[in-house]
Amino acid sequence: MDLSSLPPINATLNGLSFLLQVSGYIAIRTGRRSLHRALMLSAVTVSAIFLTSYLYLHAHVGSIPFGGQGFARVAYFSILISHSILAACTLPLVITTVTLALRGSVKHPKWGRVTILVWGYVSVTGVIVFLMMLPYYPRAFSPG
């Protein structure tokens, strides 16, 4: 597989996960529990595929340096730092929230309110990081 195809695939998976999360949130707020369940499990599946692809990419390519300067550099690292910290929290939050949901726990809605905010932020900022890195990908994947 051409590793240079993975960053746009990963960004697409992040964006799709976010859309599924929002749709799942709307479904539960409008009382459609079975639709909520299907959408949220789909979001988990898409995020799991993303995480696998992301880890595969970075295991083979390593980190890709950001080449921007000035305000763009400050903005990029501000977003990246918050994204990275919250991304580390997302997996345990999602696992806990899904486990509580599958067990029918009354704690699920409380955990879900926190999880959707963190997970949604990480999904959206993942796409933003990709877009900000777009000019630097050709250099990262060129031979030599």
CATH number at residue 109: 1.20.120.80
Confidence (pTM):
0.92
The set of residues, in sequence order, having a beta carbon less than 8 Å from that of 42 and lying 6+ positions away, is 20
Helices (runs of H) and strands (runs of E) counted in the chain:
5, 0
Contact 100, 111 (CB under 8 A): yes
Q: What are phi and psi of 131, to 5 degrees?
A: -65, -40
From the list 48, 59, 57, the residue with the least C-alpha distance to 20 is 48
Distance, C-alpha 114 to centroid of its chain: 15
* pLDDT tens digits for range 1-57: 688 899 999 999 999 999 999 999 999 999 999 999 999 999 999 999 999 999 999
Distance, C-alpha 140 to centroid of its chain: 22
**The pLDDT of residue 125:** 98
Expressed as residue numbers, the domain containing 31 is: 3-141
Distance separating alpha carbons of residues 114 and 112, to the nearest angstrom: 5
* pLDDT tens digits for range 56-98: 999 998 888 899 999 999 999 999 999 999 999 999 999 999 9
The total number of structural domains in the chain stands at 1
Distance separating alpha carbons of residues 96 and 112, to the nearest angstrom: 9
How far is the CA of 129 from the CAs of 8, 15, 137, in angstroms? 11, 12, 12
- Residue 134 pLDDT more than 80? yes
Residue-averaged pLDDT of the chain:
94
CB neighbour class for 143 (10 Å; exposed up to 12, middle 13-18, buried from 19): exposed
